[in-house]
Amino acid sequence: MINKKISGDLFGGLTAAVVALPLALAFGVSSGMGAIAGLYGAIAIGIFASLFGGTKTQISGPTGPMTVVAASVVAAQIAYFGSLEAAMGPIVVTFVLAGLFQILFGVIRIGQYIKYMPYPVISGFMSGIGVIIIILQIFPFFGLESPQGILATLGSLGAIAGNINMHAVFLALGTIATIYLAPKVTKTIPSPLIALILFTVVTVMLGLDVPLIGEIPTGLPEVQWEAFTKMDWHDPMFILVAALTLSALGAIDSLLTSIVADNMTKTQHDSNRELIGQGIGNAVAGIIGGIPGAGATMRTVVNIKTGGNSRLSGVFHGIVLIVILLGAGAYAKLIPIPVLAGILITVGIGILDYKSIKDIKYIPRSDAVIMIMVLLLTVLVDLLQAVAVGMVMASLWFMKQMGDTSTLKSKGKSLSDLRDMGLLEADVPESLHSKLYIQNFDGPIFFGFSFGFKELIRQVPDVKYVVFRMKNVPYIDQSGMYAIEEAVMDLQKKGVKVLFCYLQTQPKDMLSKIGLFPGLVSEDAVFDSFTELVSSLELEQS
């Protein structure tokens, strides 16, 4: 049994490495640091995230979302320093700092909150990433050098028409077609690898005039100590914000992949440990000059489906890439850029959330607005800002919906209506009908409900007693406490006696701490049951 598990890990890791190779090279080129940086990142993150992470079968490495942000960091630093070599200091520090932030996230246990990420935000974000990847590959698709950034690319599209390299278009289209059609013939070899090898051979044999990856360093990477000892801190705030963006994005990307792995393996990952593992991997990747990454869904799925069942599969995936690094540089330099563009376009297409796009007419309008807003902000502004705006919008909409629902459920009703609803456990004497008003609250009293609460109190008729029936109120926040206090004071000014019934522990403790009990409301006005309350009023009336 042990040997079978190990063999599954070895085969899963080997297959994942084969899938990772063309993607690592493509992401490295796309980042602006060169193909070798993608390979360094895949090795470091793949090994260390597997060893120290919280998802046993997850394969980590450079991903589309992380590469998009990394590329913006690299482009900004090169624009300032003039060359990649001169800009390596702040680039490396940014990537290492991103990893350290992820370790911090895991230590302070932020990982457990990923489950609260609304789906429209995830959908808009992932679709936005897909759009970015596709847009950034338009110029390489036609065999041209791509401008830096989305807006620059979109603004330069008119320059493509007169400069198209038809050899490049042939290679890119052939790559895309192969990736989609090859699985119909065989699934043994990953289709991106088939396309990479096939069209590299075609380019060499036919002598096609297209941009190539070019010379790739061989041998093990060097530790970038000079990045820390001789760095020009020209814009520390940019480095800090970029590192936070990468760390947050990597956390989201990795933990979403962990959920996919859980569903496939029927296991439960440790989200905080996963963040620590990803952080260690990204920090090491940065130190050796690699690009940052995260848990990679496609590679993780391939690993699990081909037998990977423990951390060994991720480690072996990294070792296979090391072997390739030591011996494949002479061949990798011949890979055409349009082929990598074709691979990345299929990656971008695969990231798009077609299900949400297809169902946009049927999902709630608020969710559709959030999804579209996050998508546009992701593409045109900033990834982290897009997620932040989406979270705020989703939270506000949710609070409004919950507040409106609580207000609607708590609308005033007659005694007969309350009795029909099963909310009166005792008959109210006829003599009290005109003197008693029961305000039944249904749901938490929080800031989203405060305005509706005040409206309900304004609708209270002219009576002698008002009962706050709070059997279905498990929680009140600060806004709710002050709203109740204000309502009690307003009613008492009108000569109305306020009674409380069925107070749960949390609301009672909170209201006691602000002096409502005993204080504004005497202890004999608080009842554990409606039967006790009616009996007390009958005695008071007699």
Q: What's the confidence (pLDDT) of residue 274?
A: 96
Report the alpha-carbon distance of residue 47 to residue 312 in Å, rounded: 9
Q: What's the confidence (pLDDT) of residue 405?
A: 67
How many CB atoms lie under 10 A from the CB of residue 274? 28
Distance from CA of residue 190 to its chain's centroid? 27
Phi/psi of residue 296, nearest 5 degrees: -105, 115
For 111-134, the pLDDT digits (tens) are 777 767 788 887 888 788 788 889
Report the alpha-carbon distance of residue 409 to residue 477 in Å, rounded: 19
Q: What's the rounded mean pLDDT across residues 517-521?
A: 83
pLDDT above 80: residue 450: no
> Would the pTM of this model clear 0.75, i.e. be above it?
no
pLDDT above 70: residue 382: yes
Q: What's the rounded mean pLDDT across residues 357-381?
A: 88
Q: What's the confidence (pLDDT) of residue 497?
A: 92
HSE-up of 110 (CA within 13 Å, CB side)? 16
Report the alpha-carbon distance of residue 406 to residue 408 in Å, rounded: 5
Q: What's the confidence (pLDDT) of residue 524?
A: 86
3 state DSSP class of 428: coil
Torsion of CA 351, 355, 359, 360, to 10 degrees: -10
On whether the CB atoms of residues 329 and 218 are closer than 8 A, the answer is yes
Tokens of 283: 């920090």
DSSP code string of 90-149: HHHHHHHHHHHHHHHHHHTT-GGGGGG--HHHHHHHHHHHHHHHHHHTHHHHTT-PPPSS
Q: What's the rounded mean pLDDT across residues 143-166?
A: 87
For 2-16, the pLDDT digits (tens) are 566 787 788 788 878
Sole residue written with tokens 């974000």: 125
* Residue partners of 124: CB distance under 8 A and separation at least 6: 370, 371, 372, 373, 374, 375, 378, 386, 390
Mean residue pLDDT across the chain? 85
pLDDT above 50: residue 175: yes
Domain boundaries, the chain: 2-396, 415-541
Report the alpha-carbon distance of residue 481 to residue 332 in Å, rounded: 67
Tokens of 156: 């330069």
Q: What's the confidence (pLDDT) of residue 307?
A: 78
Q: Which CATH superfamily is domain 415-541 in?
A: STAS domain (3.30.750.24)
HSE-up of 172 (CA within 13 Å, CB side)? 27
Least confident range from 65-74, 411-420, 434-443, 444-453: namely 411-420
pLDDT above 90: residue 423: no
Rounded alpha-carbon distances, angstroms, from residue 479 to 357, 449, 457, 515, 516 = 38, 9, 15, 15, 14
Report the alpha-carbon distance of residue 347 to residue 129 in Å, rounded: 10
For 242-287, the pLDDT digits (tens) are 999 899 889 988 988 888 788 778 888 999 999 999 999 999 999 9
Report the alpha-carbon distance of residue 530 to residue 472 in Å, rounded: 14
Rounded alpha-carbon distances, angstroms, from residue 473 to 345, 440, 446 = 52, 10, 10
Quick one: which H or E segment has residue 440?
A: strand 436-442
For 481-499, the pLDDT digits (tens) are 888 888 899 899 989 999 9
Q: What's the confidence (pLDDT) of residue 403?
A: 66
CA angle (253 as vertex; 247, 255 as ends), nearest 5: 100
Q: What's the confidence (pLDDT) of residue 17?
A: 86
On whether the CB atoms of residues 43 and 16 are closer than 8 A, the answer is no
Proportion of the chain above pLDDT 90, given as a percent: 31
When pLDDT is cut at 50, 70 and 90, the band that residue 421 belongs to is low
Rounded alpha-carbon distances, angstroms, from residue 532 to 2, 223, 347, 412, 539 = 67, 76, 67, 22, 11
Nearest one of 224, 289, 280 to 250, comparing CA atoms = 280
When pLDDT is cut at 50, 70 and 90, the band that residue 1 belongs to is very low
